[in-house]
Amino acid sequence: MCGIAGFCAFLAGAAEPEAARAALRRAAGALHHRGPDGSGVFLEGGTGLAHTRLAIIDPAGAAQPMRRREGAREGVLVYNGELYNTAELRAELANRGCAFTTSSDTEVLLCGLLREGAAFLRKLNGIFAFAFWDGERLLLARDRLGVKPLYYAMENERLLFGSEPKALFALGLQPRLDDNSLRELFALGPAHTPGNGVFRGVREVLPAQWLNMTPGGLRSGFYWQLQSLPHSHNEVETIETTAFLVQDAVERQMVSDVPICTFLSGGLDSSLVTAICAQKRREQGGRLTTFSFDFAGNDDYYKENAFQPSRDAPFAAEMAEYLQTEHVQLECDNLALADLLEPAMLARDCPGMADVDASLLYFCTIVGRQFKVTLTGETADEIFGGYPWFRSPQAFAQRRFPWSDMEARRSFLRGDVLQQLDLDAYAQAAYDDSVAQTPRWAGDSPEAARRREIAWLNLQWFMQTLLDRMDRCSMSSCLEARVPFADHRILEYVWNIPWALKYKDDTVKYILRAAGRGWLPDSVLHRPKSPYPKTYHPAYEALLAERMRDLLRSPGEPLHTYVDPKKAEAFLSAPSDYGKPWYGQLMAAPQRIAWFLQFNAWLKQYF
């Protein structure tokens, strides 16, 4: 994995070379954590490209920016990602006369773009964000499901782009805040409207989108769209096809010239990924290393609730024993978790999932000292329908985001801020617009059509939030986290499986569990969903409350512009309810305090 950044200006003309190169080097420096193994810049007229490299495929070669000529065409590429069908693409291009000097997917992508242009995107199976320059146009593109991030902005007729917003700021863009930024944070956060970069003027390239910058301006389009179609397979065929797609995706994503590991929670999704990886490693004569995560004090303070019915540790240990992996359990304490709230915010350039992010950052930092690549079970719940709101009558009846409690969001905010921003209207408009984009099939019953809406909301919002979290926390630790369930072939197939098969015999993710038979013990195969762990230690919440009160007592803190001290103190003094999240399944009372601590740090850092 890598970091990319750059600019393109036609009407603005060429920048002074030394100043332009200095800006590119600053952008590369801002993304050093994404690629500490090397960096490079390219400058031609008004176009500049910067790259930082985390060397995973062909570590000795394949430096970027990569330059290549095919016939009369020459191109330069900076690329962040992995192609999982490199071998097939390389063979196809070789048959058409392409000669390769490296074993990298970067060279395959560059050759394909020179031969076919943006049409080559439709052939790719992978996770990627890239910029391709051919002397006449700059092409930006992002993978189908949005696993790898890519941001851009227009400033003085220049297109600026980067893997993270901090790269845009290193290129000279001034971070700015407006009412829509605040609405994104307070009404929707930690999610954000697809394409919205939160900072004023910052946009995000959408999943499966391309942008083309030419002297005529900026154009965009999509090379892939999810389609709603009738499902033609019976139950046995559906299970067999799902099992094949999952196994093929995992095995493809094990490609690496450096050692890999997996995150193993002991849940269905990560256990299935790990089981496939472990078998493949045994066939190769090796042993897989696995990591699980927990928090100091959870042996004593964990509280079972409807959203988190069981702890991961016993199941992770059982799976590690079952698969004979080299297993490591990592533990985070209260002080480390609280101290990482600000670094986690900086990793995402925005307040995020509070200590849910901070803990992942902590664990990735440790794993990243030993490995450059890990495989995870992320996105299976969004694709296979694992969350409670996929089957909740309340979620079907209410016309709003089912994972978001709007009332809880007002608990800290000043009355004038609430009146100015009208958060309810903003959230409702975002919901309505998203639902209107749901891929439809005329043969769906009203109930099936509503189920597609719920599933679409999860893909557009909840899944994107978790993918962004995983990318930014892992890459901040020089660790590439791969997500095999986010293979577009799996999504295309599972999207059209009828709900009666996805949720058969009152079994959540029935098809995936059936596909996992033979890979997992029954205790894990049928384990109820329990999300990513969090701490239940009361001392952690007390520590957060103390830090929040310190801010409330300091009138110079930017938080006071938005937070009502009396409301905040009333919240801090009230009994906590860990079983009533205000976002998703994890962000309850302590995470609300932690989020506002992140928000204050964000204001101080960027504004």
Span 286-296, pLDDT tens digits: 999 999 999 99
Q: What is the mean pLDDT of residues 324-339?
A: 97
Residues 234-278: tens digit of each pLDDT: 999 999 999 999 999 999 999 999 999 999 999 999 999 999 999
For residue 543, the model assigns a pLDDT of: 97
What is the torsion angle, in degrees rounded to the nearest 10, for the CA atoms of residue 431, residue 198, residue 144 and residue 293? Answer: -90
Most confident of 58-72, 289-303, 393-407, 543-557: 543-557
CATH topology of domain 237-525: Rossmann fold (3.40.50)
Q: Where in the chain is the domain with CATH 3.40.50.620?
A: 237-525
Most confident of 391-395, 581-585, 601-605: 601-605
Confidence of residue 579 (pLDDT cuts 50, 70, 90): low
Question: Could you give the residue ranges of the DSSP H alpha helices within 385-525?
Answer: 393-397, 406-409, 415-421, 423-436, 446-457, 463-475, 488-495, 499-502, 510-515, 522-525
Q: What is the mean pLDDT of residues 24-39?
A: 96
pLDDT exceeds 70 at position 305:
no
Q: What is the mean pLDDT of residues 539-546?
A: 96
Q: 66: number of CA atoms within 13 Å, CB side? A: 24
pLDDT exceeds 80 at position 492:
yes
pLDDT exceeds 70 at position 578:
no
pLDDT exceeds 80 at position 517:
yes
pLDDT exceeds 80 at position 13:
no
Evaluate whether 89 touches 108 at the Cβ level (below 8 Å): yes
SS3 92: helix
Confidence of residue 306 (pLDDT cuts 50, 70, 90): low
Q: What is the mean pLDDT of residues 294-301?
A: 85
Q: What is the mean pLDDT of residues 39-52?
A: 95
Confidence of residue 61 (pLDDT cuts 50, 70, 90): confident
Q: Where in the chain is the domain with CATH 3.60.20.10?
A: 2-222
SS3 175: coil
**Percent of the chain at pLDDT exceeding 90:** 88
Q: What is the pTM of this model?
A: 0.96
Evaluate whether 438 touches 456 at the Cβ level (below 8 Å): yes
pLDDT exceeds 80 at position 303:
no
Q: What is the mean pLDDT of residues 330-336?
A: 96
Give strand pairing partners of 307. Answer: none
Stretch among 217-226, 449-458, 586-595 having the lowest mean pLDDT: 586-595
Tokens of 557: 């803190």
Q: What is the mean pLDDT of residues 312-330?
A: 95
Question: Residues with catalytic annotation?
Answer: 2
| Cα–Cα distance list, 134 to 68, 113, 140, 286, 512 (Å) | 10, 10, 12, 43, 44
For residue 36, the model assigns a pLDDT of: 93
- Taking the C-alpha atoms of residue 8 and residue 385, their distance in angstroms, rounded to an integer, is 41
* Chain mean pLDDT for the chain: 94
For residue 156, the model assigns a pLDDT of: 87
Residue 298 sits at φ, ψ, to 5 deg, of -70, -20
Q: Does domain 2-222 have CATH number 3.60.20.10?
A: yes
* Side chain identity, residue 384: F
Evaluate whether 167 touches 27 at the Cβ level (below 8 Å): yes
SS3 388: helix
pLDDT exceeds 90 at position 585:
no
For residue 590, the model assigns a pLDDT of: 92
Residues 82-126: tens digit of each pLDDT: 999 999 999 999 999 999 999 999 999 999 999 999 999 999 999
Residue 6 sits at φ, ψ, to 5 deg, of 165, -170
Q: In what order do the strands lie in the sheet with 47-53?
A: 38-44, 47-53, 2-9, 158-162, 151-155, 203-204
Confidence of residue 11 (pLDDT cuts 50, 70, 90): low
For residue 434, the model assigns a pLDDT of: 98
Confidence of residue 58 (pLDDT cuts 50, 70, 90): confident
- Pairwise pLDDT comparison (124 vs 14), residue with the higher score: 124
DSSP-assigned letters across all residues of 186-250: IIITTS--TTB-SSTT-EEPPTTEEEEEETTEEEEEES-----------HHHHHHHHHHHHHHHH
For residue 297, the model assigns a pLDDT of: 84
